């Protein structure tokens, strides 16, 4: 028996943001868990709807999703599964198109990074957030986020270089 006005508003919020919360859930918890994470995120979001900051719905929702994932699926098993899934995405790439080697190297490199690094990188590159919005999701200041991003990016560059090495001997690109 929710009050009709809030319910309508919330249903619209759900329709607008479902794809992006889902994408975040896949990247952070793996595809098999994504639907469950999304459902739980919106349930928690509904309970705390009154506290949603106006004009920043998405970072707030992703912050809720982040907490849901940390609460329910923070264990080793999940992290192994997510890394394994990322490697599968890399292997899944059809090896005909241009840029395939690079795409595969990037995904392989990403899978090798820490969960924290993966998070800051994908919030920007895949979820399309600004550093300020991404900082809200991980609950730190924007400067602190930029430092994390810089370091994660450096590690990704290194990991990509390492991942590309075997590929280069087989099929040199550039």
Q: Closest approach of Cβ 95 to other proteins, in Å?
A: 14
CB 114 within 8 A of CB 108: no
User: Which residue, 162 or 169, is less far from other proteins as judged by CB?
Assistant: 162
Q: Rounded to 5 degrees, what are φ and ψ at 46?
A: -65, -45
User: Which residue, 40 or 58, is less far from other proteins as judged by CB?
Assistant: 40
Cβ-Cβ contacts under 8 Å for 115 (sequence gap 6 or more) = 79, 82
Q: Cα–chain-centroid distance for residue 74?
A: 14
User: Which residue, 132 or 158, is less far from other proteins as judged by CB?
Assistant: 158
Q: Closest approach of Cβ 127 to other proteins, in Å?
A: 9
Q: Closest approach of Cβ 55 to other proteins, in Å?
A: 18
Cα gap 26→24, rounded to integer Å: 6
């Amino acid at each position: 028996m929710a009050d009709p006005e809030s319910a309508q508003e919330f249903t619209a919020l759900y329709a607008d943001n479902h794809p992006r919360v889902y994408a975040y859930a896949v990247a952070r918890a793996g595809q098999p868990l994504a639907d469950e994470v999304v459902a739980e995120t919106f349930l928690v979001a509904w309970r705390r709807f009154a506290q949603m900051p106006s004009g920043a719905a998405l970072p707030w929702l992703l912050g809720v999703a982040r907490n849901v994932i940390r609460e329910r699926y923070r264990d080793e098993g999940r992290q192994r599964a997510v890394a394994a899934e990322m490697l599968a995405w890399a292997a899944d790439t059809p090896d005909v198109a241009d840029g395939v080697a690079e795409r595969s190297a990037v995904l392989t490199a990403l899978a090798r990074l820490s969960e924290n690094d993966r998070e800051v990188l994908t919030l920007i590159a895949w979820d399309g957030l600004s550093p300020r919005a991404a900082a809200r999701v991980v609950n730190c200041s924007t400067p602190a986020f930029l430092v994390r991003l810089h370091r994660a990016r450096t590690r990704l560059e290194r990991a990509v270089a390492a991942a590309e090495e075997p590929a280069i001997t087989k099929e040199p690109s550039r």
